[in-house]
Amino acid sequence: MRSGRPEAEPARTDLDTLLEKLGTEIDRPILELALTHRSYAHEAGGIPTNERLEFLGDSVLGLVATEFLFREHPEVAEGTLAKMRSATVSQRALAEVARDLELGDYIRLGRGELVTGGRDKDSILSDTVEAIIGAAYLLHGLETTRVMVEKLLAHLLRHALRLSAALDWKTSLQELAAVHGLPLPAYQVEGSGPDHDRTFFATATVGQFVAAGSGSSKKVAEHGAAEAVFEAITAAFGSDA
């Protein structure tokens, strides 16, 4: 929710503004359905919710993201592609897409969700993005919906490798090294300071690529170093910049 906006303010109804951001025409009744959270539907006497559209949109989103990553990363193994897809369509990632659209302002929520900040909850935002994708698919089919999804998720799709790598930098660095035929990563760690306040410094080496990291534990320091080497290798080989 944008700062200064009352938490219990009703949903915005200027749907043309939202449609312009989406870049796809969606009939008002089905768009309103896609924006209808179950909390609102319950208070309105049991009207339909966006949950069926969300179910459909989740599958369409998965297909579009999978196909895009498959085409754009022919050198990447299945396991890494799966991580990339998961990072791209995660609840957190989709919630950020929703915030860019100011989608929370348009979602029809019940009073309980309104006063507890429902307009900015990751779960509600991401579910609504999926519902809108489902609505677009019902109206226009796959190709038009693909264009919309790839536009909305452009930043996530371009940086999918890095997003997935951030889940576990050490494992991701090892996989990246294998993709490019580089040696396995090697780590050196040193600590300094008193036992109650030690700082660790790690160096990660993959062939000619060397970088350092630091942190309050060996694990944090190694992951920092692994991230830095991952970035160096990615820049050198020109993938997922």
For residue 58, indicate whether it is catalytic. yes
Give the per-residue pLDDT at 239. 56
pLDDT band for 238, please (50, 70, 90 cuts). confident
pLDDT digits over 92-140, tens only?
A: 899 999 999 999 999 999 999 999 999 999 999 999 999 999 999 999 9
> Cβ contacts of residue 96 below 8 Å, gap of 6+?
none
**Candidate list 54, 58, 127, 222, residue with the active-site label:** 58
Over residues 177-197, the mean pLDDT reads 90
Can you list the domains of the chain with their CATH numbers? 15-164 (1.10.1520.10), 169-237 (3.30.160.20)
**Candidate list 127, 130, 175, 227, residue with the active-site label:** 130
